[in-house]
Structure 1
Amino acid sequence: MPELVLLNKPYGVICQFSEHDKHPTLKSCIPLPGVYPAGRLDTDSEGLLLLTGDGALQHAIADPRFKLPKTYWVQVEGEPQDAQLEALRQGVDLGDFTTRPAQVRRIDPPGLWPRNPPVRFRKTVPDAWLEIVIHEGKNRQVRRMTAKVGLPTLRLVRVAIGPWRVDGLAPGQWRQETLTLEQLKQVQHAKGIHKRTGQPGLPPKAPPRPGRALRHRTPR
């Protein structure tokens, strides 16, 4: 049965297994051979990363035509105004492309793990937290979006990809679940991802469970 690995990627870890001269790699978190990221997460971002050793699953999760919604908790510098939030919702022209409409709302500061190193704040400038849900995955997209509307990102944590969440995983921890390609297609269908356009549709009444949890590991 194919397996899906859910990792809470720590800040500063680069999304590759081969050695890097400046950053720790995924090898520092996951000792499993033969698994690869299904998508990426920036080195200076934290949170959920999906990995699998099944090529068909990896392709189906990462393929731009079938983008699952990605949920981020974003700490921004400044006091978000209604016009700024609406601009994020409508789509932001980043020069090389315009983002699709996003779901954006302000949230209370979440109870996250401390970041190492800590975020650097300016004492004279307020900060706030936003929840942003996108259906794309362009390079540094969320950071570019918030910067474009005048709300630079201070901290970026991906908390969910489709129905899979980072809940219960400390930085560097991972767990495995069983997942077949057919189950993934059911999840994508329930999430309303159109096979031809990749656009989100209506939300499901009750998304199916992706699979049975198998193991939970903490890196040594």
Structure 2
Amino acid sequence: MADIILFNKPFNVLSQFTHDVPEQALGHYIRLPGYYAAGRLDKDSEGLLLLTSSGKFQHQVSHPKFKLPKTYWAQVEGDISDQAISQLKSGVLLKDGKTRPASARRISEPEIWERYPPIRERKYIPTTWIELTISEGKNRQVRRMTAAVGFPTLRLIRASIGPWDLGGLQPGEYRQLTVPDDMAAAMSGIRR
């Protein structure tokens, strides 16, 4: 069995346990020994980060073989077009190659927490929320994908990884779970 933590990483916090500014590190929020991040989430992104005390589970979560879907809510600048949504669904050509096809759709603004500091807003430029599910992990992939189709990301929240989701966690909160050490077993329907 693997012990995991579902953590809602706040904006401006690094996916590491120590930093010169303690409030910007995981150790400020999680004081349980032996855990480490199974994947990363950029400092300027928010939402679900998995942590584990099992090296085997961490390796499986990170391994491309499992292609764990990751769902993001992105607030983009502008009123995103149907053409841009289609491009996201088909895959987008980035400097390091074309992304795999993704699931993409417009959504209403999710019921989420306020971000501090708030995003920059322009008086005459609307914003749109989209839900994007990808199954790969290129560096800053969602941000680069939305920018490539002409709609830069202003705010990015990871809502789920595989069968695990935020489930009402507020920024800085976490929930501990025990799951099978084998990813195939863990993926067989364990939810929150």
TM-score band (shorter)?
Answer: over 0.9
Deviations 1:160-217 (A, max 9, x none): 00110102211000010111223x21344xxxxxxxxxxxxxxxxxx5125xx7xxxx
> Unpaired runs of 5+ in structure 1?
189-206, 214-220
Q: Residue 23 of structure 1: CA displacement? A: 6.7
Identity of aligned residues (%): 52
Corresponding position of 1:102? 102
Q: Is the 8 A contact 2:54 2:181 kept in 1?
A: no
1:181 match: secondary structure? coil
Q: Residue 18 of structure 1: CA displacement? A: 2.4
Of structures 1 and 2, the one scoring higher in RCO (CA 8 A, sep 6+) is 2
Corresponding position of 1:194? none
Q: Is the 8 A contact 1:14 1:23 kept in 2?
A: no
Q: Is the 8 A contact 2:6 2:50 kept in 1?
A: yes
Deviations 1:99-132 (A, max 9, x none): 0000000001111100011111011101000000
| 2:62 is the counterpart of 1:62 | yes
Deviations 1:18-48 (A, max 9, x none): 2245971011110011100000000000000
Q: TM-score, normalised by structure 2?
A: 0.95
Corresponding position of 1:40? 40
| Greater strand fraction, Structure 1 or Structure 2 | 2
CA distance in structure 2 between the aligned counterparts of 1:80 and 1:147, rounded to whole angstroms: 11
Q: TM-score, normalised by structure 1?
A: 0.83
Q: How many residues align?
A: 192
Corresponding position of 1:161? 161
CA distance in structure 2 between the aligned counterparts of 1:28 and 1:124, rounded to whole angstroms: 39
CA distance in structure 2 between the aligned counterparts of 1:139 and 1:66, rounded to whole angstroms: 18
Corresponding position of 1:77? 77
Corresponding position of 1:11? 11
Corresponding position of 2:184? 185
1:57 match: secondary structure? helix
CA RMSD, Structure 1 to Structure 2 (Å): 1.5
User: Which structure 1 residue ranges, 4+ long, deviate > 3 Å from structure 2?
Assistant: 20-23
Corresponding position of 1:143? 143
> Unpaired runs of 5+ in structure 2?
none
CA distance in structure 2 between the aligned counterparts of 1:168 and 1:129, rounded to whole angstroms: 19
CA distance in structure 1 between the aligned counterparts of 2:144 and 2:20, rounded to whole angstroms: 25
Corresponding position of 2:114? 114
CA distance in structure 1 between the aligned counterparts of 2:163 and 2:5, rounded to whole angstroms: 14
CA distance in structure 1 between the aligned counterparts of 2:152 and 2:117, rounded to whole angstroms: 18
